[in-house]
Amino acid sequence: MKNLKFAVLFFLLPSNLFSMHIMEGFLPPLWAGFWWLAALPFIWLGIVSVKKIVTAKPELKPLIAMAGAFAFVLSALKIPSVTGSSSHMTGVALGTLLFGPFTMALLGFIVLLFQALLLAHGGLTTLGANTISMAVAGPMMAYSVFTLCRKSGVNDRIGIFSAAFLCDIFTYVVTSAQLALAHPAADGGAAVSLVKFLTVFAVTQIPLAVIEGLLTVVVFNILSSYAIDEMKVLGFMKLTLEEQYEK
């Protein structure tokens, strides 16, 4: 019991960090500009990829709307975590697995823009950095993990879960890195502050990442029952879904 209290205390102490996106003004102008520059090409790739899907396969429009809306919902829900503070999920893995690594760069950017403008959650100067972490790095991770799982013959549901879980975690790893680079510790430099940021971010995020993984699997289950045409068009889960095609 005593140990438990200690453990809880340990988690409580460093937990007073931001729930997620880097707040307005917390990156010095140079870094803010750097991340904006880094993000722009990906946003452009996102526009290109959405356009391509919409013109080539207009029947997928509702699904794109859904992928964006899913990120919208999940990033609005601040969920209590074991560290005693709250954070929220990203919801970008779903769209990435459906449409590839770049579509969510645009959709995630839109979600972040909305939150920065209307909620003062994140910020305009830090929008570039936040886009890179949530809408670029996270999806890249999800895409790689899922591709790897596919190749090694892992069950698709486990692949989806792992992709969404690691996507969510990796978003925060990148956020920590961005903060650490801009705010290296006085003694020890960026590596020390990276560990500091990571301890807080990653621990808070683990249970949430599990939830995001579970919910992403749930949505895929629903889609594979109802939106069979779309899943076929996307070439998604073709082999493992064959049992369902029989009806």
- Of residues 11-40, those binding another protein (CB under 8 A): 11-12, 15-20, 23-26, 28-29
Q: Name which of residues 135 to 194 contact another protein (CB under 8 A).
A: 179-180, 182-186, 193
- Choose between 45 and 183: whose C-beta lies nearer to another protein: 183
Q: Specify burial of residue 154 (Cβ count, 10 A radius: 0-12, 13-18, 19+).
A: middle
Residue 217 and residue 161 in contact, taking contact as beta carbons nearer than 8 Å: yes
Shortest Cβ distance from residue 42 to another protein (Å)?
22
3: part of which helix (H) or strand (E)? helix 2-12
- List C-alpha distances in Å: 202 to 18, 82, 184: 12, 11, 18
CB 60 within 8 A of CB 52: no
Between 154 and 228, CB nearer to another protein: 228
- Of 16 and 37, nearer to another protein (C-beta) is 16
Q: For residues 12 and 247, what is the distance between their CA atoms, to the nearest angstrom?
A: 52
Number of residues that bind another protein (CB under 8 A): 79
For residue 125, state whether it binds another protein (rule: CB under 8 A): yes
Contact between 221 and another protein (CB under 8 A)? yes
Segment lying near another protein (by CB under 8 A), choices 42-50, 58-66, 97-105, 164-172: 58-66
